[in-house]
Structure 1
C-alpha cells in the first residue's frame, strides 16, 4: 500500500500487476509510512483498517488506485514466477507440475501453497456493477496509469521495468477445454471486472468527480 499525501492518493498493490515498478515510479511522492503498511492490502482491508485513520490524518477521504490484468494471463504469471530456482523444492514451487495441474490445484484447493492466488474482483471490492476502489487501471493500458499519475503529481512519469517473472519459450500454458471452462465459471466475477476495466482502461467509481 502506497500513500501519496500531497496527491491524496492510496495505491492498493494488486499482486502480479507490476506493483514494484509502480513503487519505483512513485517513490519520490510516497510517504515513509508506506514502508510499514502491508504491501498487498485489498479494498475491504483498507476500508476496515486504514481509511478512517488516514482520512483523519489528512483532513478528508483519500482516493484509492489499483491495477488489474487479464485473469488467465495473471495465472500464467503466477505459474511462471513459481518456477524460479529460488523456490525449487519448496511447497510453493510449480516445478514438476504442468500448468493444467497448477490450475486444477487452484480450482480444487488441493495444493494451496503452490496455487495460493487471490482473486482480483475481491481485491478491488467488485460488486458485479462497480469496484470499491476509486480508480482501477488495465495492466495492458498502463499508459493511462502513467498519464493519471503524471497529472496528479505535475511531473512526466514513466514506469520502469521491475521484477518481471522469468520468461521461457519452454513454458507450456496448455489447458484442456474443460479446465478453461471451469476456470471461467468459477471466476466469472473476476472476468466481469476485467471486461469492465479493459473497455475503458481507467474505470472510475460511480460518483467520482475526477
Structure 2
C-alpha cells in the first residue's frame, strides 16, 4: 500500500497485478509505504476503510481517493497457479507443481477451497463491505499504460515500469466446461475487471 499525501491518493496493491513493480518505482516517493507483511502490503479496501482511513480522517480533514489494478480473472488465477509452482513450495499444501490448471481452478470454485487454490478475490478486494466496487480509480492490468499515465499526471513524474516478481512458466490449459463454470460462479470477478475498463 502506498499513500501520496499531497495528491490524497492511496494505492491498494491487489496481489498478482504487477504491484511489486509499481511499488518498486513509486515507493521511494510515497509519503507512506507498507510493503510487509503481505497482509498489510495487500490491504483490501474494506480493511483500509476500517483501520487506516478512520485514523487519517480523525487527524486530518481530507478526502482520500483510492487506486487499484485488477486482472482478467483467468489470467489472474493463472498467475497464482504459476507462482505456487515454484520449487520452494514443492511438498507444501499450497504447491501447484503436481496439479493441472484445470484442477487448480476447480479447487477455486469449491466452497471450501484447498490450500493451493485459496487465493482470495479481486472483486472483494476492491469492493465495499458486501457492496459495490468502492475503489475510486480502477485500472485493468492489461492496460497498464493507463495506470502509468494516471500516476505520471498525478505525481508529475516520468515512469518506466520494470517487470518484477515473475512467476515460473507453466501450461495454462483450461477446459471449456471449467471456464464456463468459472464465468458463472465468479461473475463478480469478471464484472469488476470489465468495470476497470470503463
Partner of 2:104: 102
Compute the displacement of 1:130 (Å).
Answer: 5.5
Aligned partner of 2:175 in structure 1 is: 176
Shift of residue 106 of structure 1?
Answer: 1.2
In 1, the alpha carbon distance for the partners of 2:128 and 2:187 equals: 12
TM-score in terms of structure 1 length: 0.85
Question: Could you tell me how far apart the structure 1 residues matched to 2:100 and 2:177 are?
Answer: 15
Aligned alpha-carbon RMSD (Å):
2.2
| Preserved CA contact (<8 Å) 2:4 2:32 | no
Q: Which moved more, 1:48-57 or 1:30-39?
A: 30-39
Match of 1:153 among 145, 152, 155: 155
Structural mapping, 1:76-91, within 5 Å: 76-91=78-93
Residues 161 and 77 of structure 1, relative CA distance in 2, 3 Å threshold: same
Match of 2:58 in 1: 56
Q: Quick check: 1:3–1:10 contact (8 Å CA) kept in 2?
A: yes
Structure 1 alignment gaps of length 5 or more: 201-210
Contact 1:67 1:139 in 2 (8 A): yes
| TM-score, reference length from structure 2 | 0.90
Match of 1:41 among 40, 43, 54: 43
The answer for the alignment partner of 1:11 in structure 2 is 11
Match of 1:206 in 2: none
Following the alignment from structure 1 to structure 2, what is the Cα–Cα distance between the partners of residues 57 and 176? 52
Q: 1:204 maps to what in 2?
A: none
Q: Which runs of 5+ in 2 are unaligned?
A: none
> Aligned residue for 2:194?
195
Measure, in 1, the Cα distance between the counterparts of 2:129 and 2:28. Answer: 34
